Amino acid sequence: MSPRAPRLHPSILSADFARLAEELGRIRGADAVHVDVMDNHFVPNLTLGLPVVEAIRRATDLPLDIHLMIEDADRWAPGYAEAGAESVTFHAEASAAPVRLARELRAAGARAGMALKPATPVEPYLDMLPELDMLLLMTVEPGFGGQAFLDVVLPKIRRARRALDGAAAPLALQVDGGVNAETIERAAEAGADVFVAGSAVFGAEDPDAAVDGLRRAAARACC
């Protein structure tokens, strides 16, 4: 397995929403800000939408990594790319035309990501890898922060890694859910190279130091 530089995307789902601009300033060493958009339909939680994402865009120079846990992703996802997000990820389970949607996101200037729930197999989607810039494998059931990492997803991460290594263009392999100082090593060893961490970062006294520590832990395991 070739060395891959791990990237950390702290999830603001675990941040203090009343002080969001200040919280963003505490993760200046992050590679991107992970923003979870939930609609209380695709997942049983409601978080934020496009107006808040637009405000976050004005509040930070860090790249925005938008994770849409919403129904009718084909309709709503392009708007987040048009708002200035560098990466927009939709769920395969919520898209009627994922290839067309991925192309629309790229045309709007964003990297196109596709997410899979823990029980959704990766194999049916391997043929569309050339349309994507990132594949997100959920390591918890989407909808809530603070859940425990599901080791049952590790074999899927390994299978995805083999497929991505054989792709014509480089793709990022992101994991989201239960990532902390212990589980990040298992995920990195399995082949993930982009890590979403919420409470492990914003629950720390120094979130920026937590980002650095997680990145170093992943690098030890993967390289």
Q: List CB contacts of 129: < 8 A, sequence separation 6 or more.
A: 135, 163, 164, 167, 171
178 known member of a binding site: yes
Percent of the chain residues topping a pLDDT of 70:
98
Interstrand relation of 33-38 and 111-116 (parallel, antiparallel or unpaired): unpaired
Mean pLDDT of the chain: 94
User: Known binder of ligand: residue 144?
Assistant: yes
| pLDDT score for 2 | 41
Contact 56, 20 (CB under 8 A): yes
Residue at token pair 């690098």 = 219
Q: What is the mean pLDDT of residues 154-171?
A: 92
C-alpha 97: how far from chain center: 20
How confident is the model at residue 1, as a pLDDT? 33
Q: What value does the mean pLDDT take over residues 108-134?
A: 96
For 67-94, the pLDDT digits (tens) are: 999 999 999 999 999 999 999 999 999 9
- Cβ atoms of residues 160 and 191 within 8 Å: yes
Active site residues: 36, 176
Per residue in 7-33, pLDDT (tens digit) is: 999 999 999 999 999 999 999 999 999
The topology (CATH level 3) of 7-222 is TIM Barrel (3.20.20)
49 among annotated binding-site residues: no
195 falls in which pLDDT band (50, 70, 90)? Answer: very high
Give the rounded percent of residues in the chain with a pLDDT score beyond 90: 91
What pLDDT is stored for residue 146 in this prediction?
77
Confidence class for position 169, pLDDT limits 50, 70, 90: confident
Q: What pLDDT does residue 105 have?
A: 98
Q: Does 213 show up as a binding residue in the annotation?
A: no
Band of pLDDT at residue 223, cut at 50, 70 and 90: low
